[in-house]
Amino acid sequence: MPNKRKVVLRVNGRQHELALDPNVSLLQALRDLGHTDVKNGCEIGECGACAVLLNGKAVNSCMVLAWQADGAEVVTNAGLGTMDKPHVIQEAFADAGAVQCGYCTPGMVISTKALLDRNPDPSEAEIREALSGNLCRCTGYTQIVEAVRLAAERLRDGQLAVAAVAPPTALLKGERVAESSRSPGGPGVAAVAPPTASLKGERAAESSRSPGGPGVAAVAPPTASLKGERAAGSLRSPSGSAPSGHEKRGDRR
Protein backbone atom coordinates (compact mmCIF):
# COMPACT_ATOMS: atom_id res chain seq x y z
CA MET A 1 0.00 0.00 0.00
CA PRO A 2 1.45 3.43 -0.97
CA ASN A 3 2.74 5.65 1.81
CA LYS A 4 0.95 8.92 2.35
CA ARG A 5 2.89 12.14 2.19
CA LYS A 6 2.23 15.54 3.68
CA VAL A 7 1.44 18.05 0.94
CA VAL A 8 0.81 21.78 1.21
CA LEU A 9 -1.61 23.15 -1.39
CA ARG A 10 -2.13 26.90 -1.69
CA VAL A 11 -5.46 27.29 -3.41
CA ASN A 12 -7.01 30.70 -4.16
CA GLY A 13 -4.94 32.30 -1.42
CA ARG A 14 -5.68 29.71 1.25
CA GLN A 15 -3.23 27.10 2.50
CA HIS A 16 -4.23 23.45 3.00
CA GLU A 17 -2.08 20.72 4.58
CA LEU A 18 -3.04 17.26 3.35
CA ALA A 19 -1.75 13.72 3.72
CA LEU A 20 -2.08 12.21 0.24
CA ASP A 21 -1.15 9.04 -1.57
CA PRO A 22 1.33 9.47 -4.41
CA ASN A 23 -1.24 8.55 -7.08
CA VAL A 24 -3.80 11.25 -6.12
CA SER A 25 -4.26 13.78 -8.91
CA LEU A 26 -4.47 17.50 -8.29
CA LEU A 27 -8.00 17.37 -9.73
CA GLN A 28 -9.11 14.84 -7.12
CA ALA A 29 -7.42 16.72 -4.27
CA LEU A 30 -9.05 20.02 -5.29
CA ARG A 31 -12.53 18.53 -5.57
CA ASP A 32 -12.10 16.80 -2.20
CA LEU A 33 -11.34 20.24 -0.75
CA GLY A 34 -14.65 21.50 -2.15
CA HIS A 35 -13.40 23.23 -5.30
CA THR A 36 -16.13 21.81 -7.52
CA ASP A 37 -15.68 24.62 -10.04
CA VAL A 38 -12.80 22.43 -11.25
CA LYS A 39 -14.79 20.06 -13.44
CA ASN A 40 -14.08 16.36 -13.79
CA GLY A 41 -14.47 15.66 -17.48
CA CYS A 42 -12.32 13.17 -19.32
CA GLU A 43 -9.53 12.56 -16.74
CA ILE A 44 -7.07 12.01 -19.59
CA GLY A 45 -6.14 15.63 -20.41
CA GLU A 46 -8.31 16.00 -23.50
CA CYS A 47 -11.26 18.26 -22.59
CA GLY A 48 -9.68 21.06 -20.50
CA ALA A 49 -12.67 21.29 -18.14
CA CYS A 50 -10.36 20.78 -15.12
CA ALA A 51 -7.89 23.53 -16.08
CA VAL A 52 -6.34 25.57 -13.28
CA LEU A 53 -3.48 28.03 -12.98
CA LEU A 54 -0.42 26.39 -11.45
CA ASN A 55 2.10 29.12 -10.61
CA GLY A 56 0.48 31.24 -13.31
CA LYS A 57 0.47 28.57 -16.03
CA ALA A 58 -2.70 26.85 -17.25
CA VAL A 59 -2.57 23.07 -16.73
CA ASN A 60 -5.06 20.22 -16.80
CA SER A 61 -5.28 19.27 -13.13
CA CYS A 62 -6.19 15.68 -14.02
CA MET A 63 -2.69 15.29 -15.50
CA VAL A 64 -0.82 16.68 -12.48
CA LEU A 65 -0.17 14.72 -9.30
CA ALA A 66 -1.01 16.51 -6.08
CA TRP A 67 2.53 15.82 -4.87
CA GLN A 68 3.83 17.83 -7.85
CA ALA A 69 1.82 20.86 -6.70
CA ASP A 70 3.29 20.79 -3.19
CA GLY A 71 3.95 24.41 -2.17
CA ALA A 72 2.75 25.80 -5.50
CA GLU A 73 0.13 28.52 -6.02
CA VAL A 74 -3.10 27.12 -7.48
CA VAL A 75 -5.86 29.38 -8.81
CA THR A 76 -9.22 28.03 -9.94
CA ASN A 77 -12.02 29.82 -11.76
CA ALA A 78 -13.65 30.67 -8.42
CA GLY A 79 -10.41 32.29 -7.30
CA LEU A 80 -10.61 34.90 -10.07
CA GLY A 81 -13.95 36.38 -9.06
CA THR A 82 -17.28 35.88 -7.34
CA MET A 83 -20.95 36.19 -8.30
CA ASP A 84 -21.04 39.63 -6.66
CA LYS A 85 -17.70 40.75 -8.05
CA PRO A 86 -16.83 38.76 -11.17
CA HIS A 87 -13.52 38.98 -12.97
CA VAL A 88 -13.49 40.94 -16.25
CA ILE A 89 -13.08 37.66 -18.18
CA GLN A 90 -16.00 36.00 -16.41
CA GLU A 91 -18.18 39.04 -17.05
CA ALA A 92 -17.20 39.09 -20.73
CA PHE A 93 -18.19 35.43 -21.14
CA ALA A 94 -21.64 36.20 -19.72
CA ASP A 95 -22.10 39.38 -21.79
CA ALA A 96 -21.05 37.69 -25.04
CA GLY A 97 -23.38 34.72 -24.48
CA ALA A 98 -20.43 32.34 -24.38
CA VAL A 99 -21.98 30.30 -21.54
CA GLN A 100 -24.56 27.62 -22.32
CA CYS A 101 -24.50 24.48 -20.17
CA GLY A 102 -21.51 26.01 -18.36
CA TYR A 103 -19.58 22.79 -17.82
CA CYS A 104 -16.59 23.83 -19.93
CA THR A 105 -16.70 27.51 -18.88
CA PRO A 106 -14.35 27.36 -15.84
CA GLY A 107 -11.61 25.77 -17.96
CA MET A 108 -12.24 28.26 -20.79
CA VAL A 109 -11.91 31.16 -18.37
CA ILE A 110 -8.64 29.80 -16.98
CA SER A 111 -7.16 29.32 -20.46
CA THR A 112 -8.26 32.84 -21.39
CA LYS A 113 -6.62 34.28 -18.28
CA ALA A 114 -3.33 32.55 -19.09
CA LEU A 115 -3.51 33.82 -22.69
CA LEU A 116 -4.23 37.46 -21.82
CA ASP A 117 -1.55 37.50 -19.13
CA ARG A 118 1.10 36.77 -21.75
CA ASN A 119 -0.59 38.45 -24.74
CA PRO A 120 -2.96 41.36 -23.96
CA ASP A 121 -3.98 41.81 -27.60
CA PRO A 122 -4.23 38.40 -29.27
CA SER A 123 -5.40 37.80 -32.82
CA GLU A 124 -8.30 35.44 -33.58
CA ALA A 125 -5.84 32.74 -34.61
CA GLU A 126 -3.96 33.11 -31.32
CA ILE A 127 -7.22 32.92 -29.36
CA ARG A 128 -8.29 29.74 -31.12
CA GLU A 129 -4.85 28.22 -30.56
CA ALA A 130 -4.95 29.05 -26.84
CA LEU A 131 -8.40 27.46 -26.50
CA SER A 132 -7.61 24.42 -28.62
CA GLY A 133 -7.25 22.28 -25.50
CA ASN A 134 -10.71 23.23 -24.22
CA LEU A 135 -13.67 21.36 -25.71
CA CYS A 136 -17.24 22.69 -25.79
CA ARG A 137 -20.09 20.44 -26.98
CA CYS A 138 -22.68 23.24 -27.01
CA THR A 139 -21.43 25.86 -29.49
CA GLY A 140 -19.33 26.49 -32.55
CA TYR A 141 -16.89 28.54 -30.42
CA THR A 142 -17.81 31.81 -32.17
CA GLN A 143 -19.24 33.40 -29.03
CA ILE A 144 -16.36 32.08 -26.94
CA VAL A 145 -13.84 33.76 -29.24
CA GLU A 146 -15.92 36.96 -29.07
CA ALA A 147 -15.87 36.75 -25.28
CA VAL A 148 -12.07 36.54 -25.24
CA ARG A 149 -11.82 39.55 -27.56
CA LEU A 150 -14.23 41.50 -25.36
CA ALA A 151 -12.29 40.62 -22.22
CA ALA A 152 -9.00 41.66 -23.85
CA GLU A 153 -10.50 45.00 -24.91
CA ARG A 154 -11.93 45.71 -21.45
CA LEU A 155 -8.70 44.80 -19.71
CA ARG A 156 -6.68 47.09 -22.00
CA ASP A 157 -9.15 49.96 -21.51
CA GLY A 158 -9.06 49.45 -17.76
CA GLN A 159 -5.26 49.59 -17.67
CA LEU A 160 -5.22 52.80 -19.72
CA ALA A 161 -7.82 54.39 -17.46
CA VAL A 162 -5.83 53.52 -14.34
CA ALA A 163 -2.62 54.89 -15.86
CA ALA A 164 -4.33 58.15 -16.90
CA VAL A 165 -5.73 58.95 -13.45
CA ALA A 166 -3.09 59.65 -10.80
CA PRO A 167 -4.05 59.30 -7.12
CA PRO A 168 -4.79 62.57 -5.26
CA THR A 169 -1.65 62.28 -3.13
CA ALA A 170 0.52 62.00 -6.24
CA LEU A 171 -1.18 65.03 -7.79
CA LEU A 172 -0.65 67.05 -4.61
CA LYS A 173 3.01 66.11 -4.47
CA GLY A 174 3.41 67.02 -8.12
CA GLU A 175 1.87 70.47 -7.58
CA ARG A 176 4.15 71.14 -4.63
CA VAL A 177 7.23 70.15 -6.60
CA ALA A 178 6.13 72.33 -9.53
CA GLU A 179 5.58 75.32 -7.26
CA SER A 180 8.91 74.91 -5.48
CA SER A 181 10.73 74.56 -8.80
CA ARG A 182 9.35 77.96 -9.86
CA SER A 183 10.49 79.56 -6.61
CA PRO A 184 13.60 81.85 -6.79
CA GLY A 185 14.97 80.00 -3.79
CA GLY A 186 14.64 76.60 -5.41
CA PRO A 187 12.79 73.52 -4.15
CA GLY A 188 11.35 73.82 -0.67
CA VAL A 189 11.42 77.66 -0.65
CA ALA A 190 8.20 79.65 -0.94
CA ALA A 191 7.81 81.63 -4.15
CA VAL A 192 6.33 84.66 -2.28
CA ALA A 193 8.98 87.01 -0.94
CA PRO A 194 8.63 88.16 2.73
CA PRO A 195 7.65 91.82 3.40
CA THR A 196 11.23 92.84 4.23
CA ALA A 197 12.54 91.39 1.00
CA SER A 198 9.79 93.18 -0.92
CA LEU A 199 10.69 96.49 0.72
CA LYS A 200 14.36 96.01 -0.09
CA GLY A 201 13.41 95.23 -3.68
CA GLU A 202 11.46 98.47 -4.00
CA ARG A 203 14.34 100.50 -2.57
CA ALA A 204 16.78 98.85 -4.91
CA ALA A 205 14.53 99.57 -7.88
CA GLU A 206 14.25 103.24 -6.95
CA SER A 207 17.97 103.63 -6.40
CA SER A 208 18.72 101.97 -9.75
CA ARG A 209 16.66 104.68 -11.43
CA SER A 210 18.53 107.42 -9.59
CA PRO A 211 21.25 109.45 -11.48
CA GLY A 212 23.55 108.88 -8.54
CA GLY A 213 23.32 105.13 -8.76
CA PRO A 214 22.31 102.63 -6.13
CA GLY A 215 21.74 104.04 -2.65
CA VAL A 216 21.33 107.69 -3.85
CA ALA A 217 17.95 109.38 -3.77
CA ALA A 218 16.39 110.15 -7.14
CA VAL A 219 15.50 113.74 -6.08
CA ALA A 220 18.27 116.21 -6.92
CA PRO A 221 19.56 118.50 -4.07
CA PRO A 222 18.95 122.30 -4.28
CA THR A 223 22.50 123.05 -5.49
CA ALA A 224 22.16 120.63 -8.36
CA SER A 225 18.86 122.25 -9.29
CA LEU A 226 20.45 125.72 -9.27
CA LYS A 227 23.25 124.61 -11.57
CA GLY A 228 20.67 123.14 -13.92
CA GLU A 229 18.80 126.46 -14.10
CA ARG A 230 22.02 128.38 -14.85
CA ALA A 231 22.87 125.95 -17.63
CA ALA A 232 19.40 126.35 -19.10
CA GLY A 233 19.73 130.14 -18.94
CA SER A 234 22.99 130.06 -20.83
CA LEU A 235 21.32 128.02 -23.55
CA ARG A 236 18.72 130.81 -23.85
CA SER A 237 21.40 133.54 -24.40
CA PRO A 238 20.48 136.40 -26.83
CA SER A 239 23.05 135.32 -29.33
CA GLY A 240 21.12 132.12 -29.88
CA SER A 241 24.31 130.05 -29.83
CA ALA A 242 26.00 127.98 -27.22
CA PRO A 243 28.27 129.92 -24.83
CA SER A 244 31.97 130.06 -25.61
CA GLY A 245 34.61 128.04 -23.90
CA HIS A 246 35.74 131.13 -21.92
CA GLU A 247 32.30 131.44 -20.45
CA LYS A 248 32.38 127.78 -19.40
CA ARG A 249 35.75 128.26 -17.72
CA GLY A 250 34.54 131.43 -16.10
CA ASP A 251 31.53 129.62 -14.65
CA ARG A 252 33.76 126.99 -13.21
CA ARG A 253 35.93 129.70 -11.53
pLDDT score for 133: 96
Alpha helices, DSSP H, located in the chain: 26-32, 77-80, 88-95, 105-118, 124-130, 142-164, 168-181, 195-208, 222-235, 245-252
Per-residue pLDDT of the chain (253 residues; tens, 9 = 90+): 568 999 999 999 999 999 999 999 999 999 999 999 999 999 999 999 999 999 999 999 999 999 999 999 999 999 999 999 999 999 999 999 999 999 999 999 999 999 999 999 999 999 999 999 999 989 779 999 999 999 999 999 987 666 666 555 554 455 554 554 454 554 444 444 444 444 455 554 444 454 444 444 444 444 444 344 444 444 444 444 444 443 333 443 3
User: Is 174 inside any structural domain?
Assistant: no
- State whether 74 and 9 are in the same domain: yes
Give which of 23, 27, 1 is closest to 9, Cα–Cα: 27
Domain of residue 160, CATH code: 1.10.150.120
User: Is 209 inside any structural domain?
Assistant: no
- State whether 68 and 93 are in the same domain: no
Query: Rounded CA gap, 194 and 203, in Å?
Result: 15
- State whether 76 and 92 are in the same domain: no
User: Is 133 inside any structural domain?
Assistant: yes
Domain boundary among 141, 164, 187: 164
3-state class of 216 per DSSP? coil
User: Is 46 inside any structural domain?
Assistant: yes
User: Is 219 inside any structural domain?
Assistant: no
Domain of residue 59, CATH code: 3.10.20.30
CB 97 within 8 A of CB 143: yes
| DSSP code per residue over 97-158 | T--SS-SSHHHHHHHHHHHHHH-SS--HHHHHHHTTT---SSS-SHHHHHHHHHHHHHHHHH
Domain boundary among 143, 164, 185: 164
- State whether 110 and 62 are in the same domain: no
Domain boundary among 164, 182, 199: 164
Domain that holds residue 41: 5-80
What pTM was computed for the model?
0.64
- State whether 146 and 125 are in the same domain: yes
- State whether 10 and 70 are in the same domain: yes
User: Is 193 inside any structural domain?
Assistant: no
- State whether 101 and 144 are in the same domain: yes
- State whether 43 and 103 are in the same domain: no
- State whether 16 and 70 are in the same domain: yes
pLDDT score for 191: 45
- State whether 24 and 57 are in the same domain: yes
pLDDT score for 118: 96
* Half-sphere exposure (Cβ direction) of 18: Cα atoms closer than 13 Å: 24
User: Is 144 inside any structural domain?
Assistant: yes
pLDDT score for 4: 92
- State whether 65 and 93 are in the same domain: no
pLDDT score for 140: 74
- State whether 113 and 158 are in the same domain: yes
User: Is 110 inside any structural domain?
Assistant: yes
- The tally of domains found in the chain comes to 2
